[in-house]
Structures are given as C-alpha cells and as structure tokens.
Amino acid sequence: MSDAYIPGVSSRFNTDKIIEGLMKIERIPRERSEKEKENFQNQKTYWQDLNRRIVSFRESARQLYSFQNPFSERVITSSDDSIMTGTAIRQTIVGAREFTVKQIAQADRFLSSPIDDSFKVEAGTYTFTVGREEVSFAYKGGTIQDFAENLTKWGKDKIEARLVVVKPGSKSLLIEAKPTGAENNIGFTDKAKDLVLNIGMMEKAERVNDIALTNDLATDLVNIDKNSLVVRARGVVNVKLPELVSDGLIIRFETSTAVRATEPLPSQEPPPGPTIPSAGLVSYQDIVVENDPFAVPIPKWTPPPIPVRIDDMNVLFIAFTDGGSIQLAPIEDGDSRKVEYSITETGRTIASLEARNQNTHRDVSISNIQIIETSNEILVPKTPVSTAQDAVVSFEGIDTARPGNTIDDLLPGVTVTAKKASEKPVRIAVEVDRETVKDSLITFVGNYNRLMSEINVLIRNDVRVIQELTYLSPEEQAELQKKLGVFVGDSTITQFRSVLQNAVTAPYPTADGASMLAKFGISTDARIGSSGGYDPSRLRGYLEIDEKKLDDAIDNNIVSLQQVFGFDSNGDRLVDTGAAYACESLVRPYVETGGLISIKIATLDSRIKDDDRRIVALDKQLADKEASLRSQYSQMEGAYNRMEQMSNSLDNFNKQNSRN
C-alpha cells in the first residue's frame, strides 16, 4: 500500500526515501573511514596493553639483579620472639649472635591512692620534670579528670595522666613518663608536689646513696677487700663522695679495728763494736818482735729511747669542696660496729670521707659507706607501677645499658628489641629473606607467562590459545577473543617472542660455571601428556616452577641462583650477564621512550588523525550533497505542482467554454 499523499505535508514522490537511498550510497566512503579508524584505535589499545605487560615483566626482571634485588634482603630470626626480636638492613652480614636480656627499659609510672569523685584540684602552677625536660602549666582549678586531661595535653610526648578504676567505686590517678630510661625519672615541683603528696601518690623519704669503693684507692698502707676499706697503721685515704649540700645529710658506715700485739723492746746491751785486725809481727831466727796493737777510739754507748705508742681514735674526717674539713666522732675498738653521723654544716658541699690512721699498732676497716639525704624535698612513690630504668642486654659476655628497649648500635645494620628479661640466652640470626626471594621469582615467572600468553593470542588465530588459559575468568576470556589473531604475521611481535624464549632458556655464567634456570626449578616444559601425545599448551613457551627444586636452591645454593639471574663476569661491580639482565636488555628497546612500541602507537595515532580529518571532510561533503538533493527535489516538486495547477486551469477553462 502506497503512502498517503497529503498536499503541503508529505511529498508526492516520497522524496525523503529517495534521498536517503542516494545518501546511503554516498556514505559508504565515510563508513569505511570510520571502520578503519575504529580498527586503528583497537590496534593502539592492543599495543598499549602489550606495552604494559612488557613494562611489568621488565620491572620484575630488573628487580632480580638491580641494587635492590631480593637476594640482598635480610630477615632476623629469633630463638625466642617473646624475649627479643630484631630487624636488619640489606647490607647486614649473614650470621648469628647470642643476647641475654637482663633487664628491660621502663618508664616511671606512679599510681595514687583512691580519689573521691568530689575531689577538686586547686588552681596554681603545676610543674613536672621528665629527666631534663620540664612540663609546666597554669591550671585554673577543677576536677581530677579535668586535671588529667590538661596534664596529658601539655605533656605531649613527655608525660601523660589518666584515671584508672582499680576497684569498682574508686578511681586512682596514673601519671607516667613517655620516654624510658634511668635518666627520665619524673619530678614534681610547685603545686604538683603538693598534689601528689595530697592524693597519696608520693611520700617524703630519705634517699640513700651507696658509695662504691674502687681499686684506685689501694696503696701500700690501704687495701680494698670487696666493699671494705682497710687502712693500716700510719695509712691515709680519701674516699670521694657525691657533691651534696651538707644540710640534712647523714653518713652511715661500719667500722672495725684490729690491734696488733705489742712488739718487744729492742736490746739495751751495747753493740760489740768493730772488729780490729792484728797489728802483725817480725821474726828472725828465734827472735820475734810484735807490733803495738791498733788503737781505735770507741764513743760512749747510749741506749736508744723506747718507741712512743700512739693511740688515736680520731681517724675519720669529712672534707668539703671549699677546702675545709670537720672531724667525726672517735671510733671504737672491736668488731664491726654501725656508725651514723649527722652533718649539719650549713651551705657547705661535701667532697670526700678521709681516714687518717695515725696509730702505730691499729688497723682500721671501713665498709658499707652510705650518704643519706633526709631533706623534705625528697619524694618517693608510694605505689609505683614501674620505675625508670635502662635496658641491660648482655652481648657476647658484655653488659650494655640503653635507655630504650630498641637498640641499633650493637651490631652493624641490626636493630634488636628487648621484650622481657630472662636468664635464657636468645640467638638472633641474620639470614637471607627467602620468602621475598621466592615471591620475586614467582612474580618474574608470572609476568613472563602473562606476557607470553598476550603475544600468543595476538599472533595466533587459534581459540585454543585462550582456552588453555584456565586461570582466566569468562569475562577475561571474552576480552581476549577480541584480540585473537589481530597481529597475525606481524614480524615485530613474532621475533620478540622468539628471542624472549631464548633468553629464559639459555645458559649463563656463574661462579660455579655455566647454569640454566632449569637447574633451579624454572623451565619451559614440553613433557608428554597422559594421552600419549604432546600437550600443545606446554609448547607455547610458558615457564613452569618446580617448587621443591626451587626451595632447595633457595636454601642451599642461593648464591648461584642469584648469579644465574644477574652476574658481574668482569669484576667491575656492574651486572653484565644473567637471565634477568638479558630479559631486561631485550625488552628495553621495545618500551623505552621512542622505542618500537612507541613508534607503532605514534604511527597509529597519525592514521587515526588522518581518518578524523577525512571523516570531517566527508561529513561536510555529505551534508552539502544532501542539501543539494533536497533542493533539487524540492524544485522538481514545485515545478510539478505548478504544471499540475496550470493543467487544472486549462481543464477548467475548456470545461467552461464547452458549457458556453
């Protein structure tokens, strides 16, 4: 049925369909250019995908021989992770050492007595010290919770405070120093001192300073026996004391004496005098003439005086830094006696304890010397959770102390962390990070196989190439279907695939001689399948890993494994051969700036731009052509309508004449 013709609305001759039919033929060159452009765009995408695959493979290959290669990665293993752990840098020498954690570093942590909820902290300046650092702030007054929050805010990385529910219905304030170490103890001044005394966190107490006796005090008349100082008769010794202001000091020690037996008096008989030789004689025949004897005058003998016995119990003195000294109370004879003296010399600083033994027959012993500070300024914690102390670690028989539990200066490149004290020695071993090595090799093989599968899909028009990739999802397989055989016959990719296969199967020099990757469990595999024929999937150039063989190589032959991937054959400290080096060198010209793939993509970009210009020109031509056709058909329709109108006019004229 023909379309209805409506004058002024539709075309009598169906002009639109005629024009559309004519334009369809005219659009063929444009559609051809559009399809060609789409083809070029797809090719560009495939080259870009291939470029990404090659770049990933290049990076995994370069990682195996660069200065950041995984064979230089180190890992620490500890015989007991609960006592000590560690980390190591790449340059660390492989080996093992023994450590004993005698003490871990701790910080001051002080807990108060239970505090009532109604307790209010007074306004004022609160000053805390942590070692040499000071935290001071003005507080306007408020609850203990508010005070704890303010102290934590001002303390930052030095000190913090919080409330702890020790038992239901009561809260205690916990103040703790952030840094550990014996030097980072917490101190309280200003209103802080009053607060910690008020809440039962600290109490006033004496501080005892034990005085160590060192071997440098020993002389001919002074002996050191453990912690005892023996001053023999006529001996003098000076024991250095901590320089403390003498107000409120007590010196405490133990004394004992040993009195020698009275020595016998020297003989009061005169000495025998000198021996006088004979004067000689002369004899002739029976006549003998003797000389007169020698005459030696001998002085009158006077008996020596009897030695004076000295008994002096005023042996001990305290010397001050200003050069003065005071005498302590006399000692007493006998076995060990505990002695305590108060020193009340206002404003003077003590320097040493002096023993001046003027006795002629008495040895004096002094032991367990202590200086006690009894000033009210001394505060000690009532319930310390922990007190500031250094970590003490024994390394190869040497005790070392550090303020923190993380120690990085005992072994070059090794950082150890003490977790708890134990008498059990811990073996810290620095080893090659085998897991990282294995992961890097698996990544290398995986990137190689993904690259090889991409190439196989592009250059083969065989759907089995995709079906063999069982690890792909259905969506990934469908995406690869679009690429199947796109670059069949492209010599660039075909040649690249061939040389890449050769690179991973060739032998390479190592210190033990030439080796192949297959020796270490990495190889291409063309084994006969269970059906008796060759499995085509094993002939595509993919690499496979014999995990047992690779693990054995990593554990027992890691040096050769490293060298087969990258080796310095001429001793210039630069890798110049190896499977990874060869692969990276091979792919570099393809993916570097201005490389082969860049040229391919640039060529396709140029063709796409040419097609874009051609399509723009064709679109203009088509628009002009369509406008021309519509104009021509419009004119034709107009002429036909005028002729028809003229014909109708003539018919009407004739009819009228006929009636007349």
Kindly report, residue by residue over 179-212, the tens digit of the pLDDT.
Answer: 999 999 999 999 999 999 999 999 888 778 888 8
Q: Say yes or no to pLDDT of 271 above 80.
A: no
Average pLDDT over residues 398-408: 94
Average pLDDT over residues 379-403: 92
Give the pairing type, strands 406-411 and 414-418: antiparallel
Q: How many residues does the chain have?
A: 660
Residue 528 pLDDT level (bands cut at 50, 70, 90) = very low
Q: What does the pLDDT read at residue 266?
A: 61
- Comparing 261 with 517, which gets the higher pLDDT? 517
From its phi and psi, is residue 217 left (phi > 0), alpha (psi between -120 and 50) or beta? alpha
Q: What does the pLDDT read at residue 449?
A: 93
Please say whether the beta carbons of 497 and 50 come within 8 A. no
Q: Say yes or no to pLDDT of 242 above 60.
A: yes
Q: What does the pLDDT read at residue 150?
A: 95
Average pLDDT over residues 525-538: 49
Note the pTM of the prediction, 2 decimals: 0.63
Please say whether the beta carbons of 371 and 152 come within 8 A. no
**pLDDT, tens only, 410-446:** 999 999 999 999 999 999 999 999 999 999 999 999 9
Q: What stretch of H or E contains 103?
A: strand 95-103
Average pLDDT over residues 212-216: 85
**pLDDT, tens only, 58-95:** 999 999 999 889 999 999 999 999 999 999 998 889 99
Q: What does the pLDDT read at residue 9?
A: 47
Q: What stretch of H or E contains 551?
A: helix 547-556
- Comparing 162 with 276, which gets the higher pLDDT? 162
**pLDDT, tens only, 602-617:** 999 999 999 889 988 8
Q: Say yes or no to pLDDT of 632 above 80.
A: yes
- Comparing 413 with 629, which gets the higher pLDDT? 413
Q: What does the pLDDT read at residue 210?
A: 87
- How far is Cα of residue 226 from the mean position of the Cα atoms in its chain? 44
Q: What does the pLDDT read at residue 615?
A: 87
Q: What does the pLDDT read at residue 120?
A: 94
Q: What does the pLDDT read at residue 263?
A: 62
Helix orientation angle between 558-565 and 434-459, rounded to the nearest 10 degrees: 30
Average predicted confidence (pLDDT) for the chain: 87
Q: Say yes or no to pLDDT of 349 above 80.
A: yes
Q: Say yes or no to pLDDT of 1 above 60.
A: no
Residue carrying the six token digits 């993904």: 450
Percent of the chain residues topping a pLDDT of 70: 94
Q: Say yes or no to pLDDT of 372 above 90.
A: no
Q: What does the pLDDT read at residue 531?
A: 46
For residue 543, the cross-strand partners are: 524
Q: What does the pLDDT read at residue 479?
A: 85
Q: What is the DSSP string of 387-408?
A: --B-EEEEETTEEEEESSSEEE
Residue 539 pLDDT level (bands cut at 50, 70, 90) = low
Q: Say yes or no to pLDDT of 536 above 60.
A: no
Distance CA 344, CA 268 (A): 52
Q: Say yes or no to pLDDT of 374 above 70.
A: yes
Q: What does the pLDDT read at residue 108?
A: 96
3-state helix, strand, coil in the chain (%, to 5): 35, 30, 35
Distance CA 388, CA 365 (A): 35
**pLDDT, tens only, 91-103:** 889 999 999 999 9
Please say whether the beta carbons of 88 and 430 come within 8 A. yes
Half-sphere exposure of 424 (CA within 13 A, CB side): 12
The number of beta carbons lying within 10 Å of the beta carbon of residue 388 is 22
Q: Say yes or no to pLDDT of 139 above 90.
A: yes
Distance CA 212, CA 241 (A): 9
The number of beta carbons lying within 10 Å of the beta carbon of residue 357 is 24
Q: Say yes or no to pLDDT of 491 above 80.
A: yes
